[in-house]
Structure 1
């Protein structure tokens, strides 16, 4: 059973919000939270699932494609507007503003893949990113990369985040999801305007061997997620029309059959956001950006506002929830995201102060 946490007035945490930017006076609606791995014992079973048979479930996982493509006839302009003053939460390590610039696009360490078992009992993955939180233990992705909208049970099984994942390698460890947070309207009504999720994760672990006597994995604690790879800031109630970098692992084909991306390596795209609607996914307050990303694998990709190439940090201002071929040439040309407003900040605020702990 899903647990809902009602909240009203919110107070910004000292030192987190930039000077002169106010938190929303009130975030309407509720936050829903659900356990992913309730205990360390349960989390260890999750690690075993992914580590077993030489990481075969990681290697054999396929990109998640649930509710990915949005038909052009279901896309239109218009939509989001700020519901309160704009605000930001600085990235981990970027609390003091850096002004250095670089012409090259240095890929963020914060980005990786979330793996889980779908309703078909097969392993799948989405894109995701580490974000700022009190205990440096939080991941942001699309809501339907956490909540099982196909079978309508609470959450997807065996949920883990692996930053920098590449062909079975887990350079900074495996981070098992502990608790997932999203907006009540997505949890219950699958509202596309609220298709985002924040997940607290346990400390990372690396598997170093197998204890034959105890018949269990030998694990090494790799520490907190944000301490290892950093964490992006959060921006909400921002003006539409600003440029963003989108980072993710697109895979799959375009409608014309072209295999543009493999999903094996992190890719990026860049453009200015514009307002959009997609009633087919109950999205009336969306934002979009021109992008050639295919949908499979790119779900959950991070949209970073004011990305600093030197520090590889910016402000998360969107997550990809779908793609569309808006000009009818059988090539995806647009990615869409919920507009990050005060209600998103309310969900983030409910999640950001929760400790997860270590599995070792």
Structure 2
């Protein structure tokens, strides 16, 4: 998860400096008033390339992959918030069943089983010469091969990540459902143009494995677009920075809020650390079945607001990204 190290004044300055829709469109090469298309990057398209990715991600490299932790922006700079660096240990308090609003959950291991254990997974990639990790989730799709993650987990600082692979059901170093190499990675035009945190969403289309599609193997969660704010949500991910180690699926739950700075984002009480970026947020989550409607991803936080995580709103722009992935 990405966390801003700026002062409150710096964050306010950055929030006020967010570019307008017209400026974003121009930066993306699209005229104001006309929506830019999601950006598509070709990853391991050929079978030989995918085999190379599979061979690259040995158990040792997976264990050694660092949780995505990016350099801090200069104080007061109008740049996107960056990776969470501060770690605060908070004792986990289990929520009462079916009542996340009454008992917010701070970073507890998920022991409920269900579909989320198979659809959630770790994401591994090489970013600017170093191996790193995020989280992701398999969702229902017409191509049966779609993984949703954070935008900064597919592209950052002008560079698309390489050796991109998804490991559903990862636990304790085990890959029970295999490793799935991306043939294409995509992100919103707003993220690609200016790293606007309101649109920090990425998608990977993964190749079949053993003759089966991802959805045929692990299933997929539903997706919700243009949903309400201030509702109960569950967040999942594989935080790998202390006090976590990336070996287990961690979750938080509680009533979501609306970000008071970036305005479009969801907030949730949560202390997950780096490596959880891209993990799914679910609305209408059923603890008994482990299913829900994905409505956001773990994205960023503010250092002046500890133990709170934020995720981008799944509006029309993310819907367009999802639809583009089906034809890629």
Per the normalisation by structure 2, the TM-score is: 0.74
Give me the whole-angstrom Cα distance separating, in 2, the residues matched to 1:239 and 1:28. 23
Count of residue correspondences: 265
| Offset at residue 326 of structure 1 (A) | 4.3
- Mapping 1:139-218, distance limit 5 Å: 139-149=147-157, 152-153=158-159, 155-204=160-209
Structure having the higher Rg: 1
Q: For residues 302 and 219 of structure 2, what CA distance do their matches in structure 1 show?
A: 31
Q: Which residue of 1 aligns with 2:60?
A: 56
Structure 1 residue 70: deviation in Å? 9.0
Asked if structure 2 preserves the Cα contact closer than 8 Å seen for 1:5 and 1:31, the reply is: no
SS at 1:170 equivalent: coil
- Give the CA deviation at 1:167: 4.1
Within the alignment, does 1:276 sit opposite 2:248 as a pair? Answer: no
Q: Which has the higher helix share?
A: 2
Deviation digits for residues 251-305 of structure 1 (CA, Å, limit 9, x no counterpart): 324xxxxx2x222100111011111154xxxx442111111222x1111111011
1:65 aligned partner: 69
Q: Calculate the TM-score normalised by the size of structure 1.
A: 0.68
CA contact (8 A) 1:324 1:333 kept: no
CA RMSD of aligned residues (A): 2.5
| 3-state DSSP of counterpart to 1:348 | helix
Q: Quote the offset at 1:314 in angstroms.
A: 0.9
SS of match in other structure, 1:317: strand
**Structure 1 runs (4+) greater than 6 angstroms displaced:** 101-104
Structure 1: stretches of 5+ with no match in the other structure = 7-25, 72-100, 205-220, 254-258, 355-360
Cα distance, 1:63 vs. partner? 1.2
Distance (Å, rounded) in 1 between the aligned partners of 2:47 and 2:156? 23
- Partner Cα distance (1:106, 1:352) in 2: 28
Corresponding residue of 2:292: 314
Q: 2:241 is matched with which residue?
A: 252
Name the structure 1 match of 2:20. Answer: none
- Which whole-Å CA distance do the structure 1 matches of 2:124 and 2:65 have between them? 8
| Cα offset, 1:325, TM superposition | 4.3
